[in-house]
Amino acid sequence: MSVIEIVRYRIKPETTEEQAVAAWEKSQSFAKAQPGFLERRIAVTVEGDWIDEVEWESLEDATAAAKAFNPETYPELMDLMVVLDETSMTMTHYTIKGST
């Protein structure tokens, strides 16, 4: 079964939602180029807590993508790193056990 990666974070106080979404959209080319990428989306609560949800074919694919995540190698990630509050970030992987 595939794996869902959930990255929880907050954006920096001076960042607008529009800037955060634009940075995320720019980073899509990195995600889509990674082996095992299936789908990705983001969501935000009214309190300003964000999730970036990515589905991968396997945990190995998710782990490899996380290791490859480097704005120096992939400049399309730079805007994302500018808007994220890195101190608030957590990443969890879930193996899908059922789906409809």
pLDDT tens for each residue of 87-100:
999 999 999 999 98
Q: pLDDT tens-digit profile of 25-73?
A: 999 999 999 999 999 999 999 999 999 999 999 999 999 999 999 999 9
Residue 34 DSSP one-character state:
S
pTM of this prediction exceeds 0.85? yes
The C-alpha atoms of residue 25 and residue 100 are separated, in whole angstroms, by 27
Please enumerate in sequence order all residues whose Cβ is within 8 A of that of 12, keeping only pairs 6 or more positions apart, or say none: 82, 83, 84, 85
User: What is the mean predicted confidence (pLDDT) over 72-87?
Assistant: 96
User: What is the mean predicted confidence (pLDDT) over 68-85?
Assistant: 96
Q: Evaluate if residue 1 carries a pLDDT over 90.
A: no
The C-alpha atoms of residue 84 and residue 12 are separated, in whole angstroms, by 6
The C-alpha atoms of residue 76 and residue 74 are separated, in whole angstroms, by 5
The C-alpha atoms of residue 71 and residue 43 are separated, in whole angstroms, by 22
